[in-house]
Amino acid sequence: MSELLAGPALLPLLISLPLLGALGSVLLHQRWPVLIAVILNLVLAGLLLSATQQATLRYSLGGWVAPLGIALHADTLGAMMVGITALVGVFVSWYSLDYFVAGSTAERGFWPLWGLLLTALNTLFLSGDAFNLYVGLEILSLSAVALVTLASRLEAIQAALRYLLVSLMGSLCYLLGVALLYHAYATLDLAMLAQLSGDGMLERAALALMIAGLLLKTALFPLHFWLPQAHAGAPAPVSALLSALVLKATFYLILRLWFDTLAQAATQLGALLLGLLGCAAILWGSLQALRAPRLKLLVAYSTVAQIGYLFALFPLLSDPRVASAAFDSALYFILAHACAKGAMFLAAGNVMTAAGHDRIADLGGIGAISATTLFALAIAGVSLIGLPPTGGFIAKWLLLQSALQIGAWWLAGVVLIGSLLAAAYIFRVLALGFTIFESPPVAAVGATSTRTPNATIASGRQWSALALALAALALGFLATPVLGLFDAGELTG
């Protein structure tokens, strides 16, 4: 049993467990199978993190070695992704316990779909097979789209449909790239492809197709057009999952393909282009967040900007002088944004429940409604701006340091402007907490109604949001031990 939980056998378990939870949840119409799976998943993720410290894990499914069979694979980066997914997943599940009305259609749909989403996320982080990744992408996209439809409003359904079409387009581009690679090398195994593939025309075309497909799903500017409506229209815990985890999974695949599997076909010019698009995303997303009329829309546009930072790193990641620090920065952006954005969407959900809407102009006095929620918003916001002592600060610090070291002043400039803009849109939200009934809710609701909703936000919903925000804060203090778990050398070679 001990070797089952320490060695490569962990890999299939990490995918089976959430799937088993989802099946149990469909069969029994209960939420506990998925809840148990989510908690055990955190334990397994911890074991995986400690196991990958010794060696990279590899598991051939069915005993068939590649190229015939499918191999699962975990290095420290994959283990970190599984870990942050498990952590955010636990808090979002805690929040969801009180979010959905017990026995409602949305509640019965949420738990199985969340179990399947977790299955897909773990598959994408652990699979070492290009076609298996495609199947994982399909489950990821379909369950994400289905989760958005749980909001059941017309706008949410429309946004979900657009999300579905964009995701399908992305999947097909990715699949076409896989087909090209299989045609040339007769293998789908990523490790074998990394050894076989060169920098020919075919590899370039395959890489371009796969990256383009994944960029659509990761919503890099200007392919972000589907994101704001989908993320803002979904139920709050779903928005948190989509922004914190789903986008990171496709970004992780882009990192893998670009720097590992098809590293020889990747060019400096391509990295620079991605970097420029990232910079544009930072500026555009922040500006849109500044003028968003609704709170959840603001948070969604902030995600567009934060995704920009991940891609702004690409020119640095491709430069051997600073690659190692840049990878640390990329990892920290992923971790810090997962916690901070998850917390922010959960807190926004509380605000929306308390106020009955999320129009920023009419939200004065949210501090009186829930101090805990406001505190969560504040800490998460500080991390998103990148101020010390949060995880967001570490990520930006590492990014600025590497940019200045190789003289990429333009990049440093964009990051600083982005931080200023982020401060502006975050303070737009926080200022609401300190204005007391400047614009009281509509008179028809009644004079006392601003305080009565206080009781309607369950404490679990407030504490889970705060806990995630505190996790973003803790990442700032724990930078050295956390980065010590990650070996950037796996990708820099």
Binding residues vs other proteins (CB under 8 A): 4, 9, 12, 16, 19-20, 22-23, 26-29, 59, 61-64, 67-70, 105-106, 108-109, 112-113, 116, 119, 123, 131-132, 135-136, 138-139, 142-143, 145-146, 149-150, 152, 155, 158-159, 162, 176, 180, 183-187, 200-202, 204-205, 209, 225, 228-229, 288, 291-294, 297, 301
Q: Which is nearer to other proteins, 265 or 331 (CB)?
A: 265
Q: How far is the CB of 149 from other proteins (least distance, A)?
A: 6
Q: Which is nearer to other proteins, 59 or 258 (CB)?
A: 59
- Whole-number minimum distance, CB 303 to other proteins, in Å? 14
Q: How far is the CB of 238 from other proteins (least distance, A)?
A: 12
Cβ contact 141:226 at 8 Å: no
Assign 64 to helix, strand or coil: coil
Comparison of 60 and 449: residue with beta carbon closer to other proteins: 60
From the CB of 242, what's the least distance to other proteins, in Å? 16
148, 154, 159, 160: CA torsion to nearest 10: 40
User: Which among 141, 132, 2, 111 has a CA at the least distance from the CA of 62?
Assistant: 132
- Chain-centroid distance, C-alpha 245: 3
CB of 116 to other proteins, least distance (A): 5
Q: Which two tokens stand for residue 79?
A: 């283990």
Backbone φ and ψ of 189, nearest 5°: -75, 125
End-to-end CA distance of the chain: 34
| Rounded least distance, CB 217 to other proteins, Å | 16
* Closest residue by Cα to residue 424 from 301, 341, 317: 301
Query: Toward other proteins, which CB reaches closer, 149 or 218?
Result: 149
The Cα 143–Cα 104 span in angstroms is 19
Comparing CA positions, the residue from 310, 379, 313 lying closest to residue 340 is 379
The number of helices, as runs of H, and strands, as runs of E, in the chain is: 22, 2
Please report, for residues 71, 92, 106, 341, the alpha-carbon distance to residue 241 in angstroms, rounded to integers and kept in the order given.
Answer: 27, 7, 16, 9
Least distance (Å) between residue 297 CB and other proteins: 7
Nearer to other proteins, 230 or 411 (CB): 230
Separation of CA 396 from chain center = 17
DSSP class of residue 59 equals E
Closer CB to other proteins, residue 359 or residue 451? 359
Name the residue nearer to other proteins (CB basis): 23 or 42. 23
Output the smallest distance, CB 90 to other proteins, in A.
22
- Rg for the chain (alpha carbons), in Å? 22
Cβ proximity to other proteins, 230 vs 340, nearer residue: 230
